[in-house]
Structure 1
């Protein structure tokens, strides 16, 4: 598992690095309005993720179960893959044939005509469809605990898709070239990842595509997949509604600024996801084997580590919001238009990151009911909340509603997952040790460092150095105060640790 966590960290680190490296380059080469169109296509991809239908999570879970034979895994894979081929076709058709309507009704741009935007969306339809398919194959590799291989392909895909396109843009700085390259890259890596998964699962390399749906397999997995489908629908609405509302009530440029700030604040989730992703197969194995006490101990240890990371990064993003945006883009206009909601979005992403680990516990137990209930209830707040807040307070209002919903959901979700599955001391072990104390320590240290940063003015390198020191201090003192000595020794030595 240590190797898997390290591989996930490298994969997610590449995600952070690619954002820092390439988004400012895209803006410089294509212009901010073009980047706003890219942001809008991300909304479409997020909505289309509904079509995943929970099959990726189902595949990962079935592969990770210790009571499934090799033959059962292969049959499950063939059935779910066949369904995914149909899903991919539906996704492509849905975007392709609605492109003209979307271009006319949702976007009002200065530099691009509706026909040009429609062409971009038709290209994106293929890229979005194959994104769904490649993530399905990634889910298979992760379920088999082949996370080193999965991250190897993930990083390679990111380099080719998001990095190599920069060289193309220097020669041909157009959105059409940008979207065509991304579609080609995703198609290429979809084939490569399928090739690899087939080898791991069957012992033979194959890229054969066929439709083979077994009713018995569907009968065994439909309940979990159905629950995951409802989660996907509600999650897509909840995670995209803020951006859809900004597009409808404000402007596509405001959406670009909002998405830029959101991309930076998502670094919090990217940092902790490697841990939670690596633990899902282990949690599934433990719970399916009746080892609930061991799983609870692993959760408490991992939960503390995740919380320390989350609050250290969240605190520094909140207090150094303007500095981070300026370091990233070197553009004062962007700083002015994004820094107001950066702290709010940082807290939102931090709360969302805290839910990641208990969510893996729920998935390992096939428990999706709570996610669906909370998701549907949150829509009661978000629908009117986004509408009113965006109209009266702009994108800041949108961010505030998003933050409130994420914070409330986090506390409620932790309470009920603990009550149903973990059965630990919720007040002391989770609310106090994993939330309140790490928050107080990190925010206190980050506040002190931000107050003393006045001597650094226009030097981006010094600002990076200062924010880095602040983050290290947050991590060091939180670990020193909250992590028991024996646990700390086990982590350092990687002996007798649940991560072993």
Structure 2
């Protein structure tokens, strides 16, 4: 619940404040904000699998009475590595920013010198966020969800309110925006580190600056497997954004950044459950409680389906209306409508393909994940590149959707039959398909009855209409969930029926 509240607040902050950023900065300058998000994801490759390895090690340490002494050594080693990487990232972006500003972006009205300064600040912000990820991983592995989300919400609100105040009352330039982000970014790793060390069990051993070579060698094969697949995944998932940043005019790339912000925010609605699920599945596997692991895995699938299929379906079908209600920009909404549909449909398949990764992560066996991601990258990267140059954003969206649909067909049966024989059929037939069927039937009826919402309603009315329609779709999905039906049956049976 803490994860869902935290994710809901941070997502809401993004949704509410983006139209104001767009108003004060303009579409071209907002394109720099979109590029910052892409750059941050690409430079996440420098993690080389250390964060996921750290997450798994802290979950395993909780199942071992003496596990935290070794974990503290690993944590200190990761801190030293990440500090070096963060420093190198800031320096590299400082040196590269003039060349990027002059030769990569299609700037129309912005000052190239200011673009260069913004890129330099981006490098230092990415380094700081990269270093802060150590402590987010530690808190998540300890299942300290309340503390982690309180900190995340606090900084999300502070960054949004602070940036908007500066844009409105001091300077409406992208440089001012990024300066506020950097100042608050300096505090973030300090607060997270302090909380992480308070949550970890105390130890009498002094760790110092010693490098835990033996422990890292033992843990790194798993981490390197994740690093390899992370490289492939970022290549596939961010290649379109990187290519289009140089192919589209910066104002259109600003529109594309809005699409990515919307589709990413919707997809992240599943992350609160997965953030709590991954360490718990790992813990159950370490304890040998496989039946409970499978039960939790199936229940989580149903709950995710009830939430995500209606949400992604509504955004896919009514993306134009939602974008208009959000931004008030009809040109951006019209430009984005088909692109939103294909990306959102692809992300629906991706949501449930990700569950195969959670299962492999818990078992510590990523062999199939490596093979599937390798094949996906070999096929997908050339297709995305060709689509970007020939058909622009619409082409990359269609290719993305087809790739995710094909991966969903292949990955679940292979992974589940290897790690949990007998799971695939009930997982698909009882946990996923009934929920999807209920949601799709309601969506089909609503799409036929809704008509042109933009022509008939104002922005607030459109948002309210979409909200009511979304509730109807969730009800249709919930009707297909055996977990929710059994829960309601128990509640009905336990409810008082009058005087006995």
Normalised by the length of structure 2, the TM-score is 0.92
Deviates more, 1:221-230 or 1:349-358: 349-358
CA-based RMSD: 2.3
Distance across 2 between alignment mates of 1:425 and 1:280: 18
After superposition, where does 1:305-384 map in structure 2 within 5 Å?
A: 305-384=303-382
The alignment partner of 1:340 has SS state of: helix
Tell me what 1:41 maps to.
36
Say which of 7, 13, 21 aligns to 1:12: 7
1: distance between equivalents of 2:164 and 2:174? 12
- For the pair 1:254 / 2:258, whether they are aligned, the reply is no
Name the CA distance, whole Å, in 2 between partners of 1:455 and 1:202. 58
Indicate if the aligned counterparts of 1:52 and 1:232 stay in contact, CA closer than 8 A. no
Are 1:483 and 2:482 an aligned pair? yes
Cα distance change on mapping 1:490 and 1:302 into 2, 3 Å: farther
Paired position in structure 2 for 1:221: 219
**Counterpart check, 1:180 vs 2:175:** no
Query: 1:485 deviation in Å?
Result: 6.2
Match of residue 438 from structure 1 = 435
User: Partners of 1:233 and 1:465 in 2: how far apart?
Assistant: 41
The reply to whether residue 447 of structure 1 matches residue 481 of structure 2 is: no
Per the alignment, do residues 375 and 102 of structure 1 end up closer, same or farther by CA in structure 2, a change over 3 Å counting?
A: farther
Deviations 1:87-144 (A, max 9, x none): 2122223322222222222112012243322211111111000111112211100101
| 1:419 pairs with 2:414 | no
Q: Distance in 1 between matches of 2:151 and 2:489?
A: 31
| Counterpart pick for 1:403 among 401, 404, 426 | 401
**Unpaired stretches in structure 2, ≥5 consecutive residues:** 495-500
Matched residue, 1:132: 130
Q: Distance in 2 between matches of 1:491 and 1:71?
A: 45
Q: Are the aligned partners of 1:286 and 1:294 in contact in 2 as well (CA < 8 Å)? A: yes
How many Å separate the matches in 1 of 2:372 and 2:452?
Answer: 46
The Cα of 1:333 is off from its aligned counterpart by 1.2
Aligned to 2:471: 472
Is the contact between residue 431 and residue 482 of structure 2 (CA under 8 Å) also seen in structure 1? no
Task: Identify if the C-alpha distance between structure 1 residues 155 and 104 changes in structure 2 by more than 3 Å, giving closer, same or farther.
Answer: same
Give the deviation of 1:45 after TM superposition.
0.8
Match of 1:53 in 2: 48
Q: How big is the shift at 1:405?
A: 1.4
- Indicate if the aligned counterparts of 1:445 and 1:473 stay in contact, CA closer than 8 A: yes
On the 8 A contact 2:267/2:312 being kept in 1, the answer is no
Cα 1:30/1:294, change in 2 over 3 Å: same
- Residue of structure 2 equivalent to 1:76: 74
For the residues of structure 2 that align with 1:219 and 1:189, how far apart are their CA atoms? 30
Paired residues of 2:266 and 2:312 also in contact (CA < 8 A): yes
CA pair 390-151 structure 1, distance change in 2 beyond 3 A: same
Residues 351 and 407, structure 1, Cα contact 8 Å, conserved in 2: yes
Q: Distance in 2 between matches of 1:111 and 1:492?
A: 61
Whether the 8 Å contact between 1:317 and 1:343 is mirrored in structure 2 is yes
Unmatched runs of 5 consecutive residues or more in structure 1: 1-5, 496-500
